[in-house]
Amino acid sequence: MERLIKPYITLKEVEAELREIFESGIFTKGRYVEMFKEGIKEYTGARYAFLTTSATTALWISLKAVGVKTGDEVIVSDFSFPATANVVEDIGATPVFADVDLETFNMMPAELEKKINKKTKAVIFVDALGNPSGILKIKKICKKNNIVLIEDAACAFGSSIGGRKCGNIADITCFSFHPRKVLTTGEGGAITTNSRGLAKFFEVKLNHGAVTQDSKFDFIDYGYNFRLSEIQAALGVKQIKKIDAIVKDRQAIKEEYRKCLEPHGFKTQRHDKNVVHNTQSVVFKTPENINRDDLIEHLEKNGIEATIGTYCLSGTTYYKGKYNQVLGNASFLERTTLTLPCFEGVNLEDILKAIYAFKKNVPL
């Protein structure tokens, strides 16, 4: 099976680090955790970085950090993985869905402005499939309305806009290191911010509410354990050093796809000219005369893993049933987008051959 993605890390690369961890007996809160946090800060340019178990826990505690509570509203991009809205729902607030641009797949500024009201406590902008296009306009709107901007950059580590890396743009940024990300620690996530006040909150809350003052250890608040282990952090340390090379490799693969598929009516996700897109996923809108789901089934029968772009959140059974407001562009993208394999050494020839055969409705 030609997988969607394969990790850009091997056992050989981390053998020495794993041996050191096992010999030391320090599996948590050790030097690799600190090295990984420092690496994230150095790469993104953010003042503060914190590691978490996932982007989901990162988003959840970020909502807590800015005081989102029952009765508040949080405006979220409608084209995303459900975790983006789930954290809002879980905390007792109301997710308000904003439709997305059909080209960039990201929240449209005009849609955001229509949704803002007195109950709006925060905005979660999603870098759809790693693409931060449009976030600067969203940031201006949030600043004008004194609303906190949280960037769901689960897919966007390695991306930038206007020379600024994702992680150093919004009030809070949340990353994922899931196996399908360009940088993976198996599972895991991170939070970055430039706010000292928010950093103090995360320092305490992510450490069970504990602090060390005057050489004494005390619990000054209640808190949580969303820690990343030393083993996971060691994987991150190795990959962050080569993240730009990984991004360039994936961009080159996407360009090969684009040159071959656009003449056949497939349209790729667009990003702004001042954006460096990490190409978290190679995603195309399928031509009108192609049934996307049938194409995915055809590819899988030929040993090629493929999937949808992502989800229209307002159209999922839960959110549609509760709020009954399915947004048009996000729904269209869920029905028509296709994610194709992208990793070093991917067999483009076989994948393209399978797609061409399906389009011509002839057997391979």
Residues 76 and 121 in one domain: yes
* pLDDT of amino acid 157: 98
Q: Is residue 5 part of a domain?
A: no
Residues 46 and 144 in one domain: yes
CATH number of 160's domain:
3.40.640.10
* pLDDT of amino acid 99: 98
pLDDT digits (tens, 9 = 90+) for 250-285: 999 999 999 999 999 999 999 999 999 999 999 999
Question: Mean pLDDT throughout 311-318?
Answer: 98
pLDDT digits (tens, 9 = 90+) for 17-42: 999 999 999 999 999 999 999 999 99
1 pLDDT more than 90: no
Domain of residue 277 covers 243-360
Of 221, 240, 259, the residue that ends a domain is 240
Query: Residue 344: pLDDT band by 50, 70, 90 thresholds?
Result: very high
pLDDT digits (tens, 9 = 90+) for 44-92: 999 999 999 999 999 999 999 999 999 999 999 999 999 999 999 999 9
pLDDT digits (tens, 9 = 90+) for 170-194: 999 999 999 999 999 999 999 999 9
Of 240, 255, 273, the residue that ends a domain is 240
pLDDT digits (tens, 9 = 90+) for 212-226: 877 888 998 999 999
Residues 134 and 178 in one domain: yes
167 pLDDT more than 90: yes
pLDDT digits (tens, 9 = 90+) for 85-99: 999 999 999 999 999
Residues 318 and 330 in one domain: yes
How many Å apart are CA 89 and CA 322, to the nearest integer? 11
Q: Is residue 332 part of a domain?
A: yes
Residues 159 and 252 in one domain: no
Query: Residue 364: pLDDT band by 50, 70, 90 thresholds?
Result: very low
Residues 202 and 258 in one domain: no
Query: Residue 362: pLDDT band by 50, 70, 90 thresholds?
Result: low
* pLDDT of amino acid 248: 97
Residues 304 and 179 in one domain: no
Q: Is residue 342 part of a domain?
A: yes
Residues 21 and 166 in one domain: yes
Of 207, 240, 273, the residue that ends a domain is 240
Residues 257 and 175 in one domain: no
7 pLDDT more than 90: yes
CATH number of 272's domain:
3.90.1150.10
* pLDDT of amino acid 360: 80
Residues 141 and 205 in one domain: yes
Q: Is residue 4 part of a domain?
A: no
Q: Calculate the average pLDDT of the chain.
A: 96
Residues 172 and 272 in one domain: no
Q: Is residue 1 part of a domain?
A: no
Q: Is residue 126 part of a domain?
A: yes
pLDDT digits (tens, 9 = 90+) for 135-163: 999 999 999 999 999 999 999 999 999 99
Domains contained in the chain, number = 2
